[in-house]
Amino acid sequence: MSIALQEAQNAALRGEVPVGAVVVRDGVVLASAGNRTRELHDPSAHAEILALRGAGAKTGSERLIGCDLWVTLEPCPMCAAAISFARIRRLYFGTDDPKGGAVVNGARLYDLPTCHHAPEVYGGFAEIEARDLLRDFFRSRR
């Protein structure tokens, strides 16, 4: 999670919402990323999506079997679906997102019968640090 937090801090320095993500397989980091939606002018350039793309490119596969994803914020519906399609084994996240999350809040995508693959989900990792990064970022913009 420390790498994901560093990616989130780097995102904040770029003026992006501070979210970071890391894809790991067998203890090896395959890819990490922070949000880049503003920089790339791309609404899909969330940290999770960019990390999944990087891991897919590195492995040569769209299915990341045996991989785990660490992310600082509960994934949104778009990212939760991409995580499912990538066949991520375990999802670890920092703080939950009551407004935009889709894993333990909102749509609860992995609980739906139409979800083809649901990763194991574990929340609350470095929760305070992840929450404080987001809170401080948005506080500075108000």
3-state secondary structure of 13: helix
Output the CA–CA distances (angstroms, integers) from residue 106 to 29, 80, 128, in the order listed.
30, 11, 21
Output the CA–CA distances (angstroms, integers) from residue 118 to 66, 112, 137, in the order listed.
13, 9, 31
Please tell me whether 115 is known to bind a ligand.
no
Please tell me whether 79 is known to bind a ligand.
yes
Please tell me whether 67 is known to bind a ligand.
no
Residue 120 catalytic? no
Of 39, 48, 120, 127, which one is the catalytic site residue? Answer: 48
As annotated, the binding site for Zn(2+) includes: 46, 76, 79
Which residues are known to be catalytic? 48
As annotated, the binding site includes: 46, 76, 79
